[in-house]
Every structure is written in structure tokens, then in C-alpha cells.
Chain A
């Protein structure tokens, strides 16, 4: 079957099997391998992308459901920002919040949404907002440091976070 959708701002028309997930379409049909498959069951968040502006786990979304949808992946998150890096991505680099990196694209997507929707969230609320993302390496301390840094900058009038 054929699905038409926008991925990172570009119109795409993709031929795929009805049982294919959005994650598999992104990775294997479009070569966007930033989104990762950790569990395939909705538990780890490594496959998080935005569909029509909201973060979702792309391993539990059928590609066929995305007819007409606007999809943003980690590859497109920084569009329109200096050097193509979203402020959350920049904060992760500066903080050294990444170890193996497998969970990071998903966490950055979830965090970018959290900061935009709840700019006044304290650390505890930020934890809750990224509770759908697991990291097996870091223990989350630096990840939360990075998210807090990005949030503080966004609040003090830094570059806008939105790229949805």
C-alpha cells in the first residue's frame, strides 16, 4: 500500500506493507535511523517521534495510520536553529549527558516537547514528563541536568524551542 505524509517538512509518498510500523518506515524505507528500536512494545521510548506535534512511540504506530500526518524525527528537530541543533540537543552536548547514545534521540524528542508544553516544570515534573524513556547507561542525572539547562535557557528568552 501507499502512504503520503510529511517527514521533517518534506512531502513523501512511500510504498509499504500494511503491517509496517512508522518506525520501520522511517528507518528502513526513508533511511532515518536516528529513531531507535529498543523494545518494540512502547516501554522504552527510544523510537519517540512527533506525529502532528505530539511525541508518540513510533514502534506502536502503523505507517498506514500516518496518511497526511506531519512527522518530525530527531533528524529534523533542529531545523531552523543555528547549526541545525535544537537547544535541547546543544544542552545534551554541553552537559556530556550521553553515554552509549541509544536512548538519546528519544529522550531529546520527549524533552523538547516537555519544555515547550511546561516551561515552568521543576525537576520533579520534568522527570514525570520524560518517564516514558528508559536509559540503561547514565542513571539520568546528567540527562536531567541537560534538560534543566535547556529549559532555563528557553525561559530566559533564549532561542525558541519549537520546530514542530
Chain B
């Protein structure tokens, strides 16, 4: 690891100001960043530590970016009002990582693509060179099946699809300025140097995630499939939230993780369900719709099948 200046921030605006220093990076718990520093994938001159920022009084609809995954998984209110988030946080990573890793860091984490994480390998997202996964013979098994362009990586966050299905918004802070975005708008297409795939302005930080409890959020689910049972990043994850009225789908949001370079809102699935009864027939149609736009790479066609099955299972769970 290259040495860096270590700056401990007291508040989000102060952290944001400190990030004006050229070549500086924010660090929350560091469970993702330290790995990238060790591999010299990033070599910042300064690290701005957010982890000691005093958290504002907690409000049920406002989750601090510094909340740990373990805190989210253990929160009774989240379990009741946002079961998809509860399930995603509970299954993410390992107990030790959940005890430290934060919500903000989880949303801004960097792809697990092995080329990106190995200094010296060819990677569009790191420096504009050709994507290693798309080169002849490249490893693409865990990569994207949707929206593949110059980068084929699969977005790693399990919380992001759950939160997108729940209609979450993010509050961003830059100096004293704040703005609020729908979570799906936080993500930007792959671009060289933008390792975390987030459309943050220089010095801008995620301060909080905003959620509203509703009949739809309470009827939500998150499912993932992974290669190992103990812990692993998901091969595919599906989150769905459905509000039923008189047996019909009044409103619905569906999102998937690990299938595209960004967490993917599944509008085609939503359209196949809206206004219809949630029954075996509509669920089968929605799951078929989920894979229509899929364009698997050489060795990850199985992901489209898993996506289909997970959509069926997730929607079955929401039939009530």
C-alpha cells in the first residue's frame, strides 16, 4: 500500500471540503477500499475518514450512510416496514464485515470483477483499456447479462436492488449544498476512472438513504442465489415490492443486482404485472419478461435462467 495523508472528518460538510484536496478519496469503514488500496488499484494521496462523523438523531425514514449492515439487519422497524432491505442486509457478506461495513460504502462499492481488482490487468473502467472480461478467453462467468457495453461487470451491491425496489432516495452532500436523487439515478454507466459507478460530483458524498413505509414496502422481498452457501457475492439477486388492492397489482417495483454494470430496475417486469391479478399466470409472464432483454456473454447464460426462477419465487412470496 502506498502511504497517504489520513484526515479524520467531524461532519459530512467538513469531509466534503477535505475532499477538495487533489487525489483524495472518502473512506467509511474501509472494508472495500482497503482491498483496493492493498492491490494498488487506487493510490490516493489523502484518505478522508468518515467513520467518526457524529450521526444525526435517527429518524425511521432516514438511514445514515454510516449505519452498519449489522445495524440494518437487526433493526425491528426495518424488518417490519422494509423486509427486502432486512433480507439483503442480513445475507450480505460475513458477520465480521456486516459489523463494520456501512450502507453508504455498500452502495458506492467497487465491482468485484477480477480484472479491475488486479493492477496491471486490462480494464476499461480502470483506465480505458479494453475490457479483460470481453477479450478472447476472458473470464466472464460472473459478469453482466444486460447492458454490456465497453464494460461487462456485474454490480456487486445486494442492498442497492432491495432499496431501489423500495423506492429509496439518497441525500447527497457537497459542502453546505444538499440534493436528493432517486437511488437508481445515483448510478452512472461505466466510464474510465469511475470505479464505483456512481454519478457523484467531486467532493460529493452520500449522507443518508430516505425511505417511506407503505403497504407496498411492507410487502417486499429480496432473494439471491450464490455459489457458496456460507457467504459470497450473489450471482443474481432480485428484489420486488408489490401493493395489491382487491386482488390486483396496484403498484409494483422490481430491481435486480449482479446482472448489469449498474443495479437494474426491471421495468419490463413491472409492466407485465401492473393492473393484473398476482397469480401463477401473471407471474410466469413477468418472469419471462425479465429475461427478454438479456444478452448473456460466452459463459454466463445460466444467469438468465436463475433470474427467471428468482423472479417467480420472489413474486410467489408476495401473493399473500
Contacts and interface: CB of A to CB of B under 8 A. Distances in A.
A45 B3 contact: no
A42 B37 contact: no
Contact of A132 (B5, B34, B35, B95): B95
A132 B231 contact: yes
A55 B49 contact: no
Contacts of A26: none
Contacts of B94: 42-43, 45, 57, 131-132
Interface string B29-65: 1110011011000000001010110000000000000
A55 B95 contact: yes
Contacts of A131: 94-95, 230-231
B113 to A, nearest CB: 15
Interface residues of A, number: 31
Interface string B218-262: 000000000000110000000000000000000000000000000
A57 B97 contact: yes
Contacts, number: 86
Contacts of A149: none
A9 to B, nearest CB: 21
B201 interface: no
Main secondary structure of the interface of B (DSSP, over half): mixed
A62 B8 CA distance: 12
A104 to B, nearest CB: 16
Interface string A55-76: 1110111101101000000000
* Chain B interface size, under 10 / 10 to 19 / 20 to 34 / 35 or more: 20 to 34
A19 B95 contact: no
Given A42-B31, A42-B35, A42-B94, A18 B5 contact: yes
B72 to A, nearest CB: 14
Q: Indicate the member of B93, B97, B99 with the most A CB atoms within 10 Å.
A: B99
Given A17-B3, A18-B6, A54-B70, A40 B96 contact: no
Contacts of A42: 31, 35, 93-94, 96-97
B179 interface: no
Contacts of B99: 54-56
B47 to A, nearest CB: 8
Given A62-B49, A132-B95, A132-B231, 7 more contacts: A18-B3, A18-B47, A56-B96, A60-B34, A65-B30, A114-B95, A132-B94
5 contacts: A51-B100, A129-B95, A130-B95, A131-B94, A132-B231
